[in-house]
Amino acid sequence: MAMFSKLKQFKDLRSQAKSLQNTLAEETVYADGAHGKVQVVMDGNQHVNGVQIDPELLKVERKTDIEKGIADAVNSAVKKSQMAMAKKAREMGHLNLPGLS
Residue 90 lies in a domain: no
Residues 42-95 have pLDDT tens digits of: 988 888 999 999 999 999 999 999 999 999 999 999 999 988 888 887 887 755
Put simply, whether the predicted model's pTM sits higher than 0.75 gets the answer no
Structural domain count, the chain: 1
Domain limits for position 46: 28-85
Residue 98 lies in a domain: no
Residue 61 lies in a domain: yes
| pLDDT tier, 18 (very low <50, low <70, confident <90, very high otherwise) | confident
Q: List own/partner pairs for 77-83 with CB under 8 A and 24 or more apart.
A: 77/29, 77/30, 77/31, 77/40, 77/41, 77/42, 77/46, 77/48, 78/42, 78/46, 79/31, 80/29, 80/30, 80/31, 80/42, 81/24, 81/27, 81/29, 81/42, 81/43, 81/44, 81/45, 81/46, 82/46
Residue 43 lies in a domain: yes
Check which CATH number belongs to the domain holding 51 and give it.
Answer: 3.30.1310.10
